[in-house]
Amino acid sequence: MSALTIDYLDDRVVATMARPEVRNAIDAQMIAEFHELCATLENDPKILIITGAEGIFASGADIGQLRERRRDDALRGVNSTLFTRIARLPMPVIAAIDGYALGGGSELALAADFRLGTPRIKVGQPETGLGITAAAGALWRLREVVGEPIAKEILLAGRILNAEEALACGYVTGLHEDVLAAAHELADRVGKQDPLAVRLSKQLFAMPAAAHPYVDNIAQAICFESEAKFDRMQAFLDRKKK
């Protein structure tokens, strides 16, 4: 891979966007490499940590390529298709953000289950200033994350959030000087949970309200028959006896 650097660990994968010469702008090659990574993680589920090289998460889409795209390109949903695929990965996705997360970079972060930042982050959606819309998820994910009033300021008035603002509105859940270490610490906590229960919980969380509680009962029935449920509960009972 040329746009991503991939590190495979026992229970997780770290994907580093590595185009620092263009502030890790997301281009067609990076999209293709992310799709290749998603295919691997769909077959062999692991926690995914996404970060950027040299103090920048991603400054957005590659404007040089974006300028040449036409109607049919937009209808193919180049970025939105990838970000939806990332959001639907079996195991949790953690965005470890430093520096800029703008445009498509912000939409990639919004597709993650967790977002952590450094005190240097700047996040926003400058698309309307370029004559386009934030069509890769921000128009609906951002409202869910930060609430409607702030989402409208970001999407319609070009507001850029600094680190303190991003933390206050819930765009990120923590600020850390070493954000990658914090992401690994979070991944450690996820890794202590039962993988099947985590996978099912992530899928159920994304389902519409009308699906509940029926899907919850089915998922619980699956968990109730797993060996991990018996082993973990017996270990809990054994600890209580001590």
pTM value is: 0.96
Q: Are strands 122-124 and 160-161 parallel, antiparallel or unpaired?
A: antiparallel
- The partner residues of 47 in beta bridges, in order of sequence, read 12
Mean pLDDT score, 44-54? 98
Are 104 and 82 spatial neighbours (Cβ–Cβ below 8 Å)?
A: no
Question: In whole angstroms, what is the distance from residue 57 CA to residue 144 CA?
Answer: 21
**Does the pLDDT at position 242 exceed 90?**
no
Q: Is the pLDDT of residue 64 over 90?
A: no
According to the model, what pLDDT value does residue 10 have?
Answer: 94
Q: In the CATH scheme, what architecture does the domain 4-191 have?
A: Alpha-Beta Complex (3.90)
Q: How confident is the model at residue 137 (pLDDT cuts 50, 70, 90)?
A: very high
Largest CA distance in the chain: 67
Q: How confident is the model at residue 192 (pLDDT cuts 50, 70, 90)?
A: very high
Catalytic residues: 107, 127
Residue 223: CB partners within 8 Å, gap ≥ 6? 194, 196, 197, 200, 229
Task: Give the mean model confidence (pLDDT) for residues 145-149.
Answer: 98
The arithmetic mean of pLDDT across residues 212-241, rounded, is 96
Q: What is the mean pLDDT of the chain?
A: 96
Question: What's the gap between Cα 93 and its chain centre?
Answer: 5
Is the pLDDT reported for residue 65 higher than 90?
no
Confidence of residue 195 (pLDDT cuts 50, 70, 90): very high
Q: Are 90 and 41 in contact (CB under 8 A)?
A: yes
Residue 96: name the closest of 55, 53, 50, 56 by CA. Answer: 50
Cα dihedral across residues 68, 142, 111, 211: positive or negative: negative
The residue extents of the domains of the chain are 4-191, 194-241
Please give the pLDDT value at position 194.
98
> How far apart (Å, rounded) are the C-alpha atoms in residues 90 and 44?
9
pLDDT digits (tens, 9 = 90+) for 11-38: 999 999 999 999 999 999 999 999 999 9
Stretch 218-223: mean pLDDT: 97
Residue 1, pLDDT above cutoff 90: no
pLDDT of residue 207: 96
